[in-house]
Structure 1
């Protein structure tokens, strides 16, 4: 008779994970079923509406500068020396504190900076430069 040799792979015990997974799923189902979703009782607060709409400026000043340096404010052509006066006229008629400058990509940088400076002198606090993507 031949004797069978024991190898190390035969000595390793295999653990069956199926019963443990069954228990985990049963516990999960138990906790889901026993959980109660109750709406908490309390008072609903009636908060006042925000009235900042009346304090917001009505519209923004629009300034366009084309590739040759021609300045247009709200669609009207303006000389660079008269930008401050035109902005002050616009501010007298409209409640705003912002201006948007849209310059062509070939416009000289100095003209854009000069218009920004004149807008600050005229009383515009927020000057935005719009760029094309």
Structure 2
């Protein structure tokens, strides 16, 4: 599944491959939340996650955020994902160039 955005992801020295997650949530530089190429509201994220968990109890989530995305939105999304039943949340980053 795709988020619908192509963000400028932050760089992290400790970035590692997280494999494939079945819940991808994008946050663009304006703070808009994208799931399956559609803009959603913070309050909708929990329901989407709960649906994914019903399909696959081993669900994990990856937040794909633009480096300019508001941190508060990211934290709100992480809370909603946890409330939806997923504890395994990763934040996508670009590996630092060496």
What TM-score, normalized to structure 1?
0.51
Structure 2 unmatched runs, 5+: 1-19
RMSD of aligned C-alpha atoms?
1.8
Superposed displacement of residue 118, structure 1: 0.8
Which of the two has greater helix per residue? Answer: 1
Which of the two has greater strand per residue? Answer: 2
Q: What is the distance in 1 between the residues matched to 2:65 and 2:28? A: 6
Q: What is the distance in 2 between the residues matched to 1:108 and 1:63? A: 14
Q: Residue by residue, what CA displacement relative to the aligned partner does 1:21-57 show, whole Å, maximum 9, x if unpaired?
A: xxxxxxxxxxxxxxxxxxxxxxxxxxxxxxxxxxxxx
Tell me if structure 1 keeps the 8 A contact 2:26–2:35: yes
Number of paired residues? 76
What is the DSSP-based 3-state SS (H/G/I as helix, E as strand, rest coil) of the residue aligned with 1:118?
helix
Larger radius of gyration: 1
User: Which structure's relative contact order is higher, taking Cα pairs within 8 Å and 6+ residues apart?
Assistant: 2
Q: What is the distance in 2 between the residues matched to 1:94 and 1:72? A: 21
What TM-score, normalized to structure 2?
0.68
